[in-house]
Each structure stands twice: as C-alpha cells, then as structure tokens.
Structure 1
Amino acid sequence: MPTHRSKSEKHAAAKLLRRDPYEVLSVSRNSTDQEIKSAYRRMALKYHPDKNANDPEAADMFKEVTFSYNILSDPDKRRQYDAAGFEAVDSGSQELELDLSSLGAVNTMFAALFSKLGVPIKTTVSATVLEEALNGVITLRPLPLGQPISKKVEKQSAHFYAVTITEEEARAGFVCRVQSSDKSKFKEESVKTGKITSAGMYFLGFPVYRLDQTMTSMAAAKDPDAAFFKKLDGFQPCEITELKAGTHFFAVYGDNFFKSANYTIEALCAAPYREEKEYLRAVEAQILTKRVEISKFESEYREVLAQFTEMTSRYAQEMQAIDELLKQRNEIHASYTSAPPMKRSTSKSKNKGSFKEAKEEDEVREKRSTTRDRSKKKKWYNIHLKVDKRKPC
C-alpha cells in the first residue's frame, strides 16, 4: 500500500529538495544585482505560465525561479542566505512578485485590496510586454531632449520611447524622469510631493544610488528600532552609471491594478546642472559614511538599551519594595493609637473591675468610719444622768 505523508512531512521534504538560488538562476555568488535581475527576467519569461499552459514542470520551475530571485534581490536576505543558508531566511515571509496580467479578476481585486491596506505587494512586468520588447515588436515614440511628453498608459501595458544623445551629452550626463498626478508606484525610486509622484533615472558618469524602502517599511511594522538601523540598507548603487552616445530606449509601464495612469516623461542633458551633480555626489558620499557609522552605532545602542531595560525593571522592583516597607511601617505606627477590638474590651472589663473594687473599699472605709463615730457617740451619750421621770422637765 502506498504510504500517505502528512502536510508537515511533505513541507519538510520540499525544504530538503530546495536548490541553491544561485544554481537556479545560473549566476555566480559574486554576481551583481543587474546580472541577477537579468537572469531572473530571462528565466521567468521562459517558464511563464502564459507561455507554458498545462505544463506542471514549467509552473514548478517558474515558482522556483521566483522564490530564488526573491532571496537574491533583497540585500538583507541575500546576506542571510550567504551566511547560513535557507535556515536563516524566513521563507514564509518571502515576497512574491505578481504578474497582474496572469491573475484573474477576483485575484486582482484581492491584491488591490491588500495593497490599499498597506501590505507591500511587488508586481512584475507582464510576460507579454517583455516578450514584445525582446522581439522588437513594439511601437517606439521619439523623446527629444528637454521636451516633456504627457500620455496615458493602460493597465499592464507599456509605452516605449527612443532617446538619442551625442558624445558631448553622454559625457555631461543624462537624466530621464517621469511624473504622475495619480497615486502611482514606480519601479525606480520615487518621491511624492503633494499630489505629484515623481521618479528618475540618472546617468551622470559616477555611481548614483537608489533607496529601496520596501524592507524598511516591513521592518517598521515589526520593530521601529530595527527600521531605523535598516533604513540605509536599501541604499544601493544603480546598475548603470553612464550611457554611451547613441539611441537608448525607455518604457513607462502601467502597473495599476484596474485603471490607466496619466504621466509626463522628460529627458534632460545634465550639462546645465554641474553644481547639482557635485552636490549629489557629496551628499551620497555622506550617506554611505553615515551607513557605516549607523552599523557600528547599532551594537552600542543595543547594549545600552539592554542595560536601560534592566535598570528600568530594577527601578520598578525597588519602588515596589520601598512602598511595601513604608506601608508596613505606617501600619505599625497606627497600632499604637488604635488597638485591636478584643484588647479594647479586655481593658474595659479590667477598668470596670477596678472601679468595683475601689467602690467596695470605699464602702468598707465608710462603714468603719461610721462605726467609729457611733462608738464615739455612745461614749458621749453614755453619760449616766439621773432623771426623775415623774417630774416634768
């Protein structure tokens, strides 16, 4: 008879069969973020369910590729895995990148609901859009430098733009930025100012950093202190720091759940912004220095916090002990002025007895005094007088 295994046994067996994420994505351990991302997109497109209908092996491979990328794309989880393997990574909290185009209407509604509630849900570009881009079956719109273009992109669709820069413009630096008046989320780092959300890609000839705040927001929900110390962990260098002269392609993808998104895209040459470039380089260098300082400060803070917690606990205990001793002292003082009821009744009976005895003694004394007086009167009135009763006085 075939043996039936419980869910826990099957889960444990699945853990044993998990492959090394680097092996799954066919990358080395010292691969850059861009190399890992490129490998993931290539394999995700190969095994995507849209292209492999009714193929369970491809579906399993797609899940394994996604699971491996979720580990290696997160700097913190990648360090944990490199140090101690899968045991150090909480697989239950792994974020999955969802392809909204592959979800049904009901699942899309649930995903939108969770996103509204503040649950971070990563979404990936539709496999159809990626395949069209790789095969060159797309419509290219020209994007002249310094001329903003405003459009509306439908959900799970993309607009592609072609930007041509000269050798001089390439050396000076290049910026492509997008703004949206809707509550949009950009794949790149974005900033919300009032009702406008903006994001940019900067190619300035030196390392430019982006700030991924996803893991910071998740850490904040669990531990505000941890969120503070991890705030700069998501400060990572962009994969490409400069563009060569020629034509480059940019895309705006409609990542909304249900509706289209209005946006404005603009390409700029960074030549007029020389001071801004130098200021950006100096500020980012200070942020990197601060990240090292915060990392060292965390151990000191944790140590002092542990001592503070211990002292606070002792403070509460000592305060309780002092209050108890003072309470006992007050009770002792009060016992001198208000004796217990039984003792008061005993002393009262004793007082009554003493009063009775004193009264009896007074009566005896009075009797003795009366007797003495009578004896004296007898002696006084016992004088023998001869009275002739026949003669009146």
Structure 2
Amino acid sequence: MAQTGPVDDVMLRDPYEVLGVDKGATPQEIKSAYRKLALAYHPDKNQGAQAEAAAEKFRELSTAYGILSDEDKRRRYDKEGFGGLEKKDLEVEIDLSSLGIFTTAVAAVFSKLGVPIKTTVAPMVLEAASAGNFNARPLRFGQALSDRVDKSGCHYYTLELQQTHIDGGFVIGTHSAAGSKFKLLMFVRTADSPGGQWELVLQEDSMKVKKNMQIAGLYFLHCNTYHIAPKPTQLEIAEYPENALFRRLESMQPREKPLQLEPGQILLAVYGDNWFKRVSYTVEAVIPDESPSSSSQAHVEQLQKVESELLSTKEELRVFEKHYKEAQARYVEAAEKFGSMRDKVDSLLGTREDAYLGLLDVPDIGKPGESPAAVSEQPTGPDEQAPAKPRGVLGSLWRR
C-alpha cells in the first residue's frame, strides 16, 4: 500500500545525478539514459557476488526515473527537492517477468484491491529489439491485425512511413476487447549506432475505457493530444474524497513524440502486461483522411475541441479548488459554531424548564413506564383521602 508523508532526502541521491543527465534534459533524453543503465544493472544480468549491489542500483535507477519521467513529480522536485515529494511518489515499476508465481499472485491481489502497481517492459525485450533479434510482421495503413501475446511476451510489427503520412497525420492504435492490459511500444533506428539499432522512443500503457475495453494509441496528428492518467483509486482519495475531481485532470500533459519523424520504417510492438494470461488484441494504423469511416475527420475535430476545453477546465479547477477549500473551511467553522450554539440553547432551555417546573412544584414523572415518586407517596388506603396541600408559591398563598 502506498505510504504518505514527507521524504527524507538525506537517504536519497539527486535523480539527475543517478541517471547522469542535466536538469534541462528532455523527457526523451531521460528515458534513453534510464533504459541504458537499467539494462546494465538489471538483476537478470547480474548474478552471484554482484547481485545485491546491482539490485540496489537498479532500484535507485527506477526511483530516479519514476520522479523525472512524471511531469508533476519532476516539477515538485525541481522546486523543493525531496521535500516536495511524498513516500508514495517513490514507488518503482516492477518487471512481471522477474517475479515468481507467488509474488505475482500477491501483486495481482493488491492491484485488484486498488493499490496502484506500475509495471515496466522486461529489459530482455528491449535488448532483443535493440539487437534486431526478433521476427516482425508488416503492418499496413488501413489494415487491422489480431493476435494473442503471452504475459511479458512481445509481438513486433514494421510500418513503412511516407512523407505524405507524416504531412497528413496518422494514428497507431491497439485495443483488447477482453480487458487485458498491454503496452504499445514504438522504436526508431538510431543514426549513431552500427547497423542502425532500434531504440524505444514511445511507450503507451493501455487504459480501461467503456465496456471493459483496454486501449492504447500513438497519435501523430496536426492537433495536440494529451495523456491523462486513470482516475484516482478509492485508496488514493480516502482521506479527501474531493480529489476524485480536483486530481482528475492534474496529470494532463502532451503526449510524447519523437523530435522529428522521417520517411522510412518504424518498429511497433505489443507487450503483454497481464498478470497471468495471454492478451488478445487488435493493432492497426489509420490515416484519418483516408479512413473508410466518413466521420473520421469529424472525430479529429471533436478531439481537438474537447482537448482544448479540458485544458481550460484544468486551470479552472485549480482556481476553484482554492475557493472550495476556503468555503469548506468557513463551512466547518460555521458548522462547529452551529453545534456550539445549538448545545447552548438546549442547555439554557433545559435550565429554564427546570426552573419553571421547580417554581410550580410540578412532580418529576421520570421515564415513561415508571411510577412517579410523588405518586408513590400519595395515600392509597380508604382512610387516607385527605388532599395534599399545595407547596411552593401556591402553597404559601394557600397557607395565607
């Protein structure tokens, strides 16, 4: 379960230093640095005497990347250091392929209970792609291919890009109607490596949408598209349920894109991210202007409009949250004042009532169903019929 509370920065190294990048590094430079170091220190490649040191280094790398790859965490760290983060912000991604059956089962149970557990692509998969050690199927625009991939397995596809595709815009999407999780990966050839090795440049984790559908997409359109994290879990909003609204758009940020796409071949991959079973999926590449659906371009225009509205709503929420918390504080203060005044009025009215009853010498009837004490003191025999004389104020008048 994620822990909350401030982080002690004495025990942690600067994440920029850990990854060996400058503070002005781009998201792509941060990702590339992490991938190279993670491959070198992954537990699968470090056994024996060096295993423990490598595992600690791998954990440190994962923690650093977890901070710098998240726009909000990075912004808070740059502003306040580790003092701007909480313990839950230091959760690392886990590699499903490195877990045993029991550990996987435990992690799956926690995931079902709503504890967010991030997963990463197995380094062996990235190493195979980098070395060209894979079989790939050709994917063509306008064509949908369906298949099943094993847990922690990977299926590769090549796609030929022309300048017209880049100029007109295109989309690469994958979905799983069975609701199984997966990752959609994109690789490009590195110009400075021998033989033009493949380097991972984009990764999209699938997200659950309507009717238990899992979907992931890479959008190369002429309008900005944004990534939004899944809605907060019940555990994450337990202390402050209003965060279900206020934190909903906080993660909204532009999708990552390569600095520049060029005509030629790109490599795509579908990675099985399900805890236990194989993932059934469909992958396709679409050019909106050439899509068989006449409404395809209308969807692009609708997407452009709604993304713009969400951006303005995100800013509106930031302002409204401040006003809401101020109003909430005033309400709490008013509610406490209300309770205090209610108790005071009730107390005063109770005292007033007792005074009037005492003044008129009205007997205490006690609880319902109980015989009043005054009644028990009245004569009950045939020879005890004399009426009791009034007491109190009326009694003094009687005696006069």
TM-score by length of 1: 0.78
Query: 1:185 & 1:218 partners in 2: Cα distance?
Result: 21
- C-alpha displacement at 1:258, in angstroms? 1.5
Does the aligned pair in 2 maintain the 1:215–1:234 contact within 8 Å? no
Q: Shift in Å at residue 33 of structure 1?
A: 2.8
| Residue among 118, 141, 144 paired with 1:145 | 141
Counterpart-to-counterpart distance in 1, 2:234 and 2:287 = 34
Q: Which residue of 2 aligns with 1:178?
A: 174
Residue segments in structure 2 that go unaligned for 5+ positions in a row: 1-6, 184-203, 291-295, 364-372, 379-387, 392-400
Rate the CA distance shift 1:64–1:209 in 2: closer, same or farther, 3 A: same
- How far does the alpha carbon of each residue in 1:296-319 deviate from its partner, in whole angstroms, 9 at most, with x for none? 222111111111110111011111
1:135-175 per-residue CA deviation (whole Å, 9 max, x = no partner) reads: 11011111111111110101111001111132212211111
State whether structure 2 residue 301 is matched by structure 1 residue 265.
Answer: no
1:51 is matched with which residue? 45
Q: Residues 299 and 101 of structure 1: is their aligned pair in 2 closer, same or farther, counting only changes over 3 Å?
A: same
Which of 1, 12, 24 is the aligned partner of 1:18? 12
How many Å apart are 1:186 and its aligned residue? 4.0
CA pair 94-218 structure 1, distance change in 2 beyond 3 A: farther
Report the CA distance between 1:177 and its aligned residue: 1.1
RMSD value, Cα: 2.6
1:110-158: per-residue Cα shift (whole Å, max 9, x none)? 1111112221111101111111011110111111111111101011110
Runs of 4+ in 1 over 4 A off after TM superposition: 214-218, 339-342, 347-350
Provide the secondary structure at the position in 2 that maps to 1:39.
helix
| Structure exhibiting the larger radius of gyration computed from Cα positions | 1
More deviation, 192-201/38-47: 192-201
Contact 1:163 1:249 in 2 (8 A): yes
Matched, 1:279 2:302: yes
Q: Is the 8 A contact 1:216 1:230 kept in 2?
A: no
Q: Tell me which residue corresponds to 1:288.
A: 311
Write the distance in 2 (CA, Å) between the matches of 1:349 and 1:223.
Answer: 62
CA deviations 1:241-291 (Å, max 9, x no partner) are 774332211110011121111111111112243333233222212211111
CA contact (8 A) 1:184 1:197 kept: yes
Mapped to 2, the partners of 1:103 and 1:87 lie a distance apart of: 32
Aligned partners of 2:9 and 2:261: how far apart in 1?
Answer: 43
Q: How many residues align?
A: 336
Of the three residues 218, 221, 242, the one matched with 1:225 is: 242
Amino acid aligned to 1:251: A
Aligned mates of 2:228, 2:362 — CA distance in 1: 75
Query: Does the CA contact (< 8 Å) of 1:174 and 1:243 recur in 2?
Result: no
Q: 1:309 to 1:102 in 2, by over 3 A?
A: same
Note the residue ranges of structure 1 that are not aligned, 5 or more in a row: 1-11, 351-393
| Aligned counterpart, 1:244 | 262
Letter in 2 for 1:265: V
Matches within 5 A, 1:191-340: 191-213=208-230, 219-240=236-257, 243-272=261-290, 273-338=296-361
User: Residues of 2 paired with 1:73 and 1:119: CA distance?
Assistant: 20
C-alpha spacing 1:276/1:243, structure 2 compared with 1 (3 Å): farther
Is the 2:73–2:89 Cα contact (8 Å) retained in structure 1? no
The answer to which structure has the higher helix fraction is 1
Query: Alignment partner of 1:122: what SS?
Result: coil
Aligned partner of residue 237 in structure 2, secondary structure: helix
Distance 1:32 1:251 in 2: 23
Distance 2:354 2:390 in 1: 26
